[in-house]
Chains A and B, each alone.
Chain A
Amino acid sequence: SQTIHQWPATLVQPVGSPLSLECTVEGTSNPNLYWYRQAAGRGLQLLFYSVGIGQISSEVPQNLSASRPQDRQFILSSKKLLLSDSGFYLCAWRGAGLKYGYTFGSGTRLTVV
């Protein structure tokens, strides 16, 4: 069966520090992968999506970047965190065929201090 792993679960980082969040998927190949952020009191916001290795599309301009170095690995990064980067970051993948919903990871709670 397919599973999605995301780590770390929580992270407290100072302003100006770098960030790297990792997401891996098991049990599937060539998945569509997504990074979402959920800020306090707001809905999930799509940040990046990828349909294959090295293929990244950005939804909104921001202080973050994403990379997909391997088929089942998706990384979210920042060179210098801002306070506004705090939030709940979720990785998701979608199975083959558009009739399926997303499978989300367990999320990373990032607090920038």
Chain B
Amino acid sequence: SQKIEQNSEALNIQEGKTATLTCNYTNYSPAYLQWYRQDPGRGPVFLLLIRENEKEKRKERLKVTFDTTLKQSLFHITASQPADSATYLCALERGSTLGRLYFGRGTQLTVWP
């Protein structure tokens, strides 16, 4: 069965440091990989999308890498701020079922001053 694993349930880092979140998958051949932010009691908010033929994508302080050989994506937040504290979700979209996203359980990031 398909599996999407995010490296840890919780990650705590100090303000100003770079947060790195990991998403590993098995039994997938994803065409697209997406990252979302979710605050408590709210719906997820789309952050970045990366295609299988792309190695890296950036948006402001965010960077996503995609390694289809390792079956892994890394999500980086540089110069982290307490306002970045949230749960971050990894989601995959397979080429055979385009339009349908399959989510990991998320990593709860806490940035302390």
Contacts and interface: CB of A to CB of B under 8 A. Distances in A.
B44 interface: yes
Contacts, number: 59
Most buried by A among B34, B46, B89: B46
Interface in B9-38: 31-32, 34, 36
B113 interface: no
A45 B103 CA distance: 7
A107 to B, nearest CB: 5
Interface residues of A, number: 26
B89 A44 contact: yes
A43 B105 contact: yes
Contacts of B101: 34, 44, 46, 102
A105 B43 contact: yes
B98 interface: yes
A43 B104 contact: yes
A43 B92 CA distance: 13
Interface residues of B, number: 26
Contacts of B100: 34, 46, 49, 59
B61 interface: no
A46 B104 CA distance: 12
A32 B99 contact: yes
B45 interface: yes
Nearest to B34: A101
Interface in B72-108: 89, 91, 93, 98-106
B31 to A, nearest CB: 8
A47 B103 CA distance: 12
B49 interface: yes
A41 B46 CA distance: 21
Nearest to A10: B41
Contact of B102 (A42, A46, A103, A109): A46
